[in-house]
Amino acid sequence: MKVVAAYLLAVLGSKTNPSAADIKKILASVGAEADDDKIQLLLSEMKGKDVTELIASGREKLASAKKEEKVEEKAESSDDV
């Protein structure tokens, strides 16, 4: 998750296609260790994709998800006291 957060911070910092070095630099700035395998996996999954479009698509999917109604059960009162 920290790799994704660092990627998004790089995008917010005007890097449209952050590199592994960009992600490592952000992680190092907060004392976090960088996992090269996770960074490479994220970069390969994000190749050619726009973060803002992915976020917008995700919002649409969340908005269309069926909302589960939780029915509250009333506690039984004990009138036998």
Identity at 11, one-letter amino acid code: V
Give dist(CA 60, CA 44) in Å, integer: 24
Q: How many domains does the chain have?
A: 1
Give dist(CA 58, CA 45) in Å, integer: 15
Give the domain CATH number at 40.
1.10.10.1410
Q: What is the residue range of 25's domain?
A: 2-57
| Cβ neighbours around 44 below 10 Å, total | 8
Q: Is residue 45 part of a domain?
A: yes
Q: Is residue 16 part of a domain?
A: yes
pLDDT (tens digit, 0 to 9) for every residue of the chain, 81 residues total?
999 999 999 999 999 899 999 999 999 999 999 999 999 999 999 999 999 999 999 998 888 878 777 777 766 666 665
Give dist(CA 33, CA 36) in Å, integer: 9
